[in-house]
Amino acid sequence: MSIFREWEMGNHPRWPGGEQVRACFAALSFPVFHFPLSARAKRMQGFTLLEMLAVILLIGIAAAAVSFSVAQGLASARINAASSELAGALRATRAQAIVKGAQQNFDVDTHSNTYRNVKQQEVALPKGLRLSITSAKDDQPNDHTGRIRFFPDGSSTGGRITLTSGKREWHVNVSWLTGEVRVFDTATTVAMQ
């Protein structure tokens, strides 16, 4: 039995005269009034199971939509980063040709989806990303390898490297005259036209 109950009942050993304690508690209590509820008020007292299931279903649909858009955003960011890295590697190869005063080659292997950077290290593209190259016939030693050559004056043999993910494409264009490297997202280009 709790101390409060013992005090209330007047049975606590420290509180002689339990009748007085009981009278004090009776004086402190407030009357509680109960009003009868109408039929509508009885129905409004809580939610039905069907209403709760509908809310849970809507929350689930909203969570799925948000997770899908976040996943698409992450995939797009990953591909944008890969195309930027590829363009950076092309620019670095061009810069090496100018600095060293000698021709530098940028090799692309479409079979393994890799390219060789300035340090001649193979760089693999993220999974789900395909690579293709359009370059001069002399710069294609076999059916799955392409090459863009950069010369000491900054020019190049030119070409286009295409990164594909599903239906979207990113083009990394290399100008033959100036060796300038540009990245184009075809979805953005189509949306602007």
pLDDT, mean over the chain: 80
The domain spans of the chain are: 54-192
pLDDT at 191: 40
pLDDT at 188: 65
Q: What does the pLDDT look like over 52-91, one tens digit per residue?
A: 999 999 999 999 888 887 877 777 777 888 889 999 999 9
The pLDDT of residue 193: 36
How do residues 171-187 score in pLDDT, each as one tens digit? 999 998 999 999 988 76
CATH 3.30.70.890 is held by the domain 54-192: no
pLDDT for the residue numbered 120: 83
The model's pLDDT over 122-163, given as tens digits with 9 standing for 90+, comes to 998 888 889 999 888 888 888 888 999 999 999 999 999 999
Q: Is the dihedral of CA 49, 54, 55, 59 positive or negative?
A: positive
Average pLDDT over every residue of 39-58? 80
Provide the whole-model pTM: 0.62
Share of the chain above pLDDT 70, in %: 73
- Whether 117 has a pLDDT exceeding 80, the answer reads yes
Residue 40 has pLDDT above 90, yes or no: no
SS (H, E, C) the chain: CCHHHHHHHCCCCCCCCHHHHHHHHHHHCCCCCCCCCCHHHHHCCCCCHHHHHHHHHHHHHHHHHHHHHHHHHHHHHHHHHHHHHHHHHHHHHHHHHHHHCCCEEEEEECCCCEEECCCCCEEECCCCCEEEEECCHHHCCECCEEEEEECCCCCECCEEEEEEECCEEEEEEECCCCCCEEEEEHHHHHHHC
74 against 101, higher pLDDT: 101
Mean pLDDT value across residues 11-35: 59
Q: Which has the minimum average pLDDT: 5-14, 19-28, 77-86, 127-136?
A: 5-14
Q: What is the pLDDT of residue 23?
A: 64
How far is CA 184 from each of CA 156, 160, 190, rounded to the nearest angstrom? 19, 11, 10
Note whether 129 and 162 are within 8 A (CB): no
